[in-house]
Amino acid sequence: MGGVLCCLSSPIDFDGEVDLYHFDLLRAVGKGAFGKVRIVEHKCTKKVYALKYIEKAKCIKQKAVANIIQERRLLEEIDHPFVVNLRYAFQDDENCFFVLDLMLGGDLRFHLDRLGRIQEKVVRFWAAELSSALSYLHKQRIVHRDLKPDNILLDSAGHVHITDFNVAIHYSERRLHTSVAGSMAYMAPEIIGHKGYTWHVDWWSLGIVVWELLFGRRPFDGRTSEKMKQSIVKDPLKFSSRADSLCTAHGQDFVRKLLDRNPRTRMACRGRTHGIQDVHEHPWFSEMDWDELESKNLQPPFVPDISKANFDVSHELDEFLMVEKPLTHTKRKARVDLEKMKPDLRQLVEQFTVYDFTKTKRMSYYPHNQPVVSAGHDDEGGDAEPAEASQSATATILPTATIVERSQAGSPDPGDCSGRETPAMPPLPAESPI
């Protein structure tokens, strides 16, 4: 059936290339450094999604072009029940758009802040689903690098989903990465210590998340970046005197094995294809039916109340009170002269390509993907001192803010396995939770 017949009130060709006119714009639910999130409804199918849109001018000003293109490419490769999957991607003259699975249950940070800590049976269920998602990503040769409660979303039924692939990369099969990326409180010691790392770091981050959910605090802390680094690298892992009343011995053992500073002996790090078996066989999950879990047939022990907003409602006020320019449907210019564009804008226009999950087969850019670099922002030397983590006005660290630092000398290309060196991705502030 032609798209024009599908929606008689609007002369839109739904058989043509997807654009913003295919969607009705509903409420605003999130806001990041240069991007926002709206709930949208596809005018033809009536399916509801999350629309993450990023203003090109702000993206270029933040020197985040490479990150946006990298995220767009990686999301095209991913399709998993415990990941916030990409459904459409497109752009207009002002914005780049990601249309993603809608998660109405809020992020785990929201629920952790509200409840103080999470019951063990709930954390165990979430840990199982997250383990499944991480194993899948690592088989796809993707390391997320920023797993934290803020980047884990619940659907309306209570299943968890990993989101925000803004600093995710294809990890190299040939040598270790050394660039610092992620949120410091969740970074593995091999990242902090510049020892080189690969996909093992995601399992450490999972350990920090599980600990924080169970006990309402993180195992390593510090008011300054240096103190936090020292804590992550050197401080012994200590359970509180109340730990036994909050978590069984099996749960404590599981998180202890995830927080092994030796990545070779860390839980689930035996190999990309075999490591997940260690999780399956751990006694904490002795009663888990993994096939039913991955089919989403198990009843989650925690179901969010979707009759209430599971997000900061001020985002909606901000959008509709026009504090900033509201999103509107606009036609793209029919003809653009790429040769006259500045390098960063041209890169976005050319490389943020259209994706439609109903028409396009998901593809992998690994290992033949083109290296993604930030045009016009060359690295000023591999030995340059990395920037420190984001600081507040009181000089205390912001432990959950996403940071990206320069690659050290000899680090691999984050988007290519050829061994060639490319400029490091520039610093990027934390993005919206969807």
Tens digit of each residue's pLDDT (9 = 90 or more) over 259-299: 999 999 999 998 877 889 999 999 999 999 999 999 999 99
Contact between 135 and 275 (Cβ < 8 Å) = yes
H or E element at residue 69: helix 65-77
Q: How many angstroms separate the first and last alpha carbons of the chain?
A: 32
Burial code (b: 16+ CB inside 10 Å, e: under 16) for 282-304 equals bebbeebeeeebbeeebebebeb
Report the C-alpha gap between 388 and 289 in whole angstroms. Answer: 44
Contact between 128 and 366 (Cβ < 8 Å) = no
pLDDT at position 400 is 78
Could you tell me the fold of the domain covering 12-103+311-380? Phosphorylase Kinase; domain 1 (3.30.200)
Report the C-alpha gap between 181 and 401 in whole angstroms. Answer: 10
β-partners of residue 169 are: 143
CB atoms within 10 A of CB 227: 15
pLDDT at position 325 is 64
pLDDT at position 422 is 31
Mean pLDDT of the chain: 82
Over residues 203-229, the pLDDT tens digits come to 999 999 999 999 999 999 888 999 999
pLDDT at position 32 is 62
pLDDT at position 253 is 98
Catalytic residue numbers read: 146
Binding site, residues?
A: 52
Report the C-alpha gap between 235 and 195 in whole angstroms. Answer: 18
Every domain of the chain and the residues it spans: 12-103+311-380, 108-294
Give, for all 434 residues of the chain, the pLDDT tens digit.
455 545 445 578 888 899 999 999 998 887 765 578 999 999 999 999 999 999 999 999 988 999 899 999 999 999 999 999 999 999 999 999 999 999 999 999 999 999 999 999 999 999 999 999 999 999 999 999 999 999 999 999 999 999 999 899 999 878 899 999 999 999 999 999 999 999 999 999 999 999 999 999 999 988 899 999 999 999 999 999 999 999 999 999 999 999 999 999 999 998 877 889 999 999 999 999 999 999 999 999 999 998 877 776 554 445 444 445 677 777 777 667 777 889 999 999 999 999 999 998 887 776 554 333 333 333 332 222 233 333 333 334 577 787 776 444 333 333 333 333 333 333 333 333 33
Report the C-alpha gap between 174 and 360 in whole angstroms. Answer: 31
Over residues 316-333, the pLDDT tens digits come to 445 444 445 677 777 777
Report the C-alpha gap between 31 and 311 in whole angstroms. Answer: 11
pLDDT at position 376 is 32
Could you tell me the fold of the domain covering 108-294? Transferase(Phosphotransferase); domain 1 (1.10.510)
Binding site for ATP, residues?
A: 52
pTM of the model: 0.82
